[in-house]
């Protein structure tokens, strides 16, 4: 594997998966993409855009508006717990849907990087990615927020219950699994089968990733666009998906659980 500047900026297309030439199969893949993203993250992107437009139409500046991520879903604690678990399960189901369609097309999990061939290397890559994306991403959010380009994001407003850390951890994994499987492993594989160039594919996937974070403001879009470019290109070069899922889970976990523990104890949190 060659790691030169040219190979990262203009990577060669791998032999697998091959480009599908049959017109009927190509139409089927395009329809499949519309359906999958029309009921998952693509729909979330449209809703997020509308949410941002609604926020911009308000007389209150963006930085004085709030958006909550993990919120109570029921008054009764047990019902709330069950609904939180169902929300996490739904996200995992979204990712599983993409994997199912790839499996039906003859693509194995190992061929998109969901295997245990290199656990040590994957662990190191996970930590490196978490630091590379998590720390600058947090800094970008605070800069954007203080400049008035982002809403005040509250990662969790869940009540202080015994199960809060559990559901927040599962929510972090669910978000990571759904996003990395669908936007990286599934989408980029399908775009390769359609013959889309690597750079065009990774940019399109990154824009999609940014779109469903627009509800947070412009900082959320830019930060996730950059994250999408880095994660997408890394997958194209290494074909490892688990490190992306693990790194995403890690910095969502830190955001969700860290916020719930620090809220009310420090003055710099929104």
Instruction: Please provide the average confidence, as pLDDT, over all residues in the chain.
Output: 94
The span from the CA of 57 to the CA of 257, in Å, is 32
Position 16 pLDDT exceeds 90: no
Q: Please list the helix, strand and coil fractions of the chain in percent, rounded to the nearest 5, in that order.
A: 70, 5, 25
For residue 1, being part of any structural domain is answered with no
Residue 3: predicted pLDDT: 63
pTM (two decimals): 0.95
| pLDDT tens, position by position, 39-54 | 999 999 999 999 999 9
For residue 160, being part of any structural domain is answered with yes
For residue 183, being part of any structural domain is answered with yes
For residue 14, being part of any structural domain is answered with no
* Region 232-244 average pLDDT: 96
- The share of the chain scoring above pLDDT 70, in percent, equals 99
**More confident site: 267 or 249:** 249
For residue 34, being part of any structural domain is answered with yes
Residue 262: predicted pLDDT: 82
Whether a cis peptide bond, with omega within 30° of 0, leads into 205 is: no
For residue 269, being part of any structural domain is answered with no
Are 257 and 168 within 8 A, CB to CB?
A: yes
| pLDDT tens, position by position, 70-114 | 999 999 999 999 999 999 999 999 999 999 999 999 999 999 999
Position 218 pLDDT exceeds 80: yes
Position 2 pLDDT exceeds 60: no
What is the domain extent for residue 208?
24-262
For residue 38, being part of any structural domain is answered with yes
For residue 13, being part of any structural domain is answered with no
* Region 221-243 average pLDDT: 96
Domain count for the chain:
1
* Region 182-208 average pLDDT: 97
Secondary structure of residue 154 in the 3-state scheme: strand
* Region 121-143 average pLDDT: 93
CA distances from 76 to 72, 80, 83, 260 (A): 10, 6, 11, 20
**More confident site: 8 or 270:** 8
Confidence of residue 155 (pLDDT cuts 50, 70, 90): very high
């Amino acid at each position: 594997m060659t790691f030169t500047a040219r190979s990262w900026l203009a990577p060669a297309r791998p032999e697998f998966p091959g480009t599908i030439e049959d017109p009927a199969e190509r139409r089927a893949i395009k329809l499949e993409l519309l359906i999958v993203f029309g009921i998952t993250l693509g729909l979330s992107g449209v809703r997020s855009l509308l949410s941002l437009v609604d926020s911009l139409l308000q007389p209150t500046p963006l930085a004085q508006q709030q958006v909550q991520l993990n919120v109570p879903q029921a008054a009764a604690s047990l019902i709330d717990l069950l609904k939180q678990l169902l929300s996490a399960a739904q996200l995992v189901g979204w990712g599983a849907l993409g994997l199912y369609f790839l499996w039906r097309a003859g693509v194995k999990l190992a061929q998109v990087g969901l295997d245990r061939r290199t656990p040590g290397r994957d662990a190191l890559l996970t930590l490196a990615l978490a630091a590379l994306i998590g720390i600058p991403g947090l800094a970008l959010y605070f800069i954007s927020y203080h400049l008035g380009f982002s809403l005040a994001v509250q990662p969790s407003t869940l009540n202080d219950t015994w199960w809060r850390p559990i559901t927040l951890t599962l929510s972090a994994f669910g978000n990571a699994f759904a996003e990395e499987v669908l936007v990286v492993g599934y989408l980029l594989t399908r775009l390769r089968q359609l013959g889309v160039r690597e750079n065009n594919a990774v940019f399109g996937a990154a824009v999609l990733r940014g779109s469903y974070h627009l509800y947070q403001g412009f900082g959320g879009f830019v930060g996730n666009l950059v994250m999408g470019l880095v994660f997408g290109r890394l997958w194209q070069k290494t074909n490892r998906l688990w490190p992306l899922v693990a790194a995403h889970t890690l910095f969502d976990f830190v955001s969700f659980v860290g916020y719930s523990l620090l809220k009310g104890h420090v003055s710099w949190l929104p």
